[in-house]
Structure formats: C-alpha cells, structure tokens
Amino acid sequence: MSGYRYTARDLLAGREDYFYSPLEGPGFLADWAASRAAVLNALPEAPPAGAPHPAPPLPDGTAPIETRDLLGALAAAPDPVWIDRLVQRFEVGKRIHARYDARLRKGAGPVDDLTLYARFAAILAANDPVGRLPRLNALLKLCDLVCSQPAGARSRVAGDLRAALQAERMALATLIEREREHE
C-alpha cells in the first residue's frame, strides 16, 4: 500500500501503543497522505441512508452500556462529556468493547466490531477534532485501525470511514496552515 507503518498490519489483531514513536519527518506525512488517499479512493460509494431510527437515550449511569446504543445517541445528539469519556476509554487500550459497565469504566464483550470504530471515528470527525486535540489524536488512531483492515471489511463501513478520513485530512490541513501562519 504505502510506507505508512501504522496501517501496515492488522491493528484489530494486535494493537498499536504509539509509545515513543520515532520522529520520521516530512516523509511520514507524505506516506500518511498516500495511504489515506488510497483507502479513500478504493471505498465504494455508500448507499443512501434509510429512514432514521429513533436515537437511544444517553446512558443514565444505572445500567450497563451497549456501545452501539451509546454511539447511536452520540451521532444523533453529540454530548461532549460522553464523547470525551469514550475518547479516554479508547486511548487506554486502543479498543472499543461491545459493552461497558454503567460508568463506562470496564469494557466487556468482543472488541472486533469494525462498525463501532468507524462510527466513533465519524462522530469525532463531526465534532470539532481541530479544536480538541485529544479528539483529533483519537480520530487519527481510529482511522489507522479501520484502514489497517482488508478492503472488504472497510467497504462495509464506507460511509462512516469516508466521513472520518475526509475530516481527518481537513483537520490536519487546518493545523498545518495555522502553523505556517505562526512562522
């Protein structure tokens, strides 16, 4: 694919810790951009959205949390507190569990549902990743994880992945432009 090392292996099968990543210079960004462009260009067009489903309510802290329901609620009505809590949970282990306890502390169930990662990436993409760098950081890692999957798996989450990759590209372009303005 390209020289971008964070998508060269299956990040669902073996997580990436991102600890003390070496400084790789401008070539790193070029490899990242080429890798993301290749994935974006290979994505099928997403089918038109069907009728909207009623969004589940946000968790109230009294019952276990189904992650799919939490993401549905956040997609319909973004809540910065819940988004940031889920960012923190993801950053701890680079995994999204199918379920969590009532306080979103302990995960349970499978961690291999790509739709959860792609949906969370799309939610972050739609909720100011440039203004909140922890969200952008999580968005980049979520996109790495989804892009590290085979093309067939990526095609099943094409709509969310396309939105996430486009927002990721725009966020980094904005940050680069801001940096140039301060030089």
- Domain boundary assignment for the chain: 5-15+22-44+61-181
The enclosing H or E element of 137 equals: helix 133-147
Assigned token pair, 28: 């790193």
E-assigned strands of the chain?
Answer: 65-66, 99-100, 107-108
Q: What is the pLDDT of residues 49-58, one digit of tens each?
A: 655 677 888 9
Res 23: pLDDT: 65
Which residues does 63 contact at the CB level (< 8 Å), separation at least 6? 102
Which residues does 118 contact at the CB level (< 8 Å), separation at least 6? 142, 146, 157, 160, 161, 164
SS3 112: coil
Q: Is the pTM of this model over 0.75?
A: yes
Q: What is the pLDDT of residues 126-160, one digit of tens each?
A: 998 778 889 999 999 999 999 999 999 999 999 99
